[in-house]
């Protein structure tokens, strides 16, 4: 090996080893694989709200509202006696979110279901908001209006 090159090679090797040593001391004990370019550029999908939801702001453990959302409908029930008594409150249309983040929709009442239900809302439409993993809306009964908040069951 050429004597002039030996110090240069030693310096390059020392810098490389130092770089590897510092990378090993980054303070993180877990490693995560780097995101691929396609993952980093992919937009977040809209929330899927289909499924079972239950009131999170009820003042009673055995009386609350619960909802079921399908691809195009939302049904909400008054639940009492710890689930032994269930009465329809709302049956209407559901429009799925088309983008990520907060979302609102106007549900049209399905009066073929709510028309004969004694505790069902008679409103022709009802506004719903989805934000921070919570669905909220106004519910009225016996002259009292309350904000209902639902969380996924």
Query: Is the model's pLDDT at 37 over the cut of 70?
Result: no
CA distance 62 to 79: 7
pLDDT for res 44: 85
pLDDT tens digits, one per residue of 79-124: 999 899 999 999 999 999 999 999 999 999 999 999 999 999 999 9
Contact indicator for 51, 61 with CB cutoff of 8 Å: no
CB-side neighbour CA atoms (13 Å) of 80: 6
Higher pLDDT, 43 or 33: 43
pLDDT for res 4: 54
**Rounded to 5 degrees, what are φ and ψ at 29?**
-95, -15
Closest CA to 139 of 77, 49, 80: 77
Question: Which residue is it, tokens 């709510």?
Answer: 114
The full set of domain ranges for the chain reads 51-152
CA distance 149 to 129: 10
CATH code of the domain occupying 51-152 = 2.40.128
pTM as predicted? 0.72
């Amino acid at each position: 090996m050429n004597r002039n090159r030996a110090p240069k090679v030693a310096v390059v090797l020392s810098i490389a080893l130092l770089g590897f040593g510092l990378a090993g001391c980054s303070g993180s004990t877990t490693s995560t694989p780097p995101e691929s370019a396609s993952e980093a550029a992919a937009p977040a999908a809209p929330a899927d709200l289909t499924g079972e939801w239950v009131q999170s702001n009820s003042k009673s453990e055995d009386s609350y509202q619960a909802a079921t959302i399908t691809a195009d409908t939302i049904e909400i029930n008054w639940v009492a006696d710890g689930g032994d008594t269930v009465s329809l409150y709302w049956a209407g249309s559901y429009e799925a979110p088309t983008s990520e983040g907060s979302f609102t929709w106007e549900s049209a009442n399905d009066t073929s279901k709510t028309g004969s239900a004694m505790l069902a809302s008679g409103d022709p439409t009802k506004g719903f908001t989805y934000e921070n993993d919570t669905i909220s809306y106004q519910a009225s009964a016996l002259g009292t209006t309350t904000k209902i908040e639902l969380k996924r069951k």
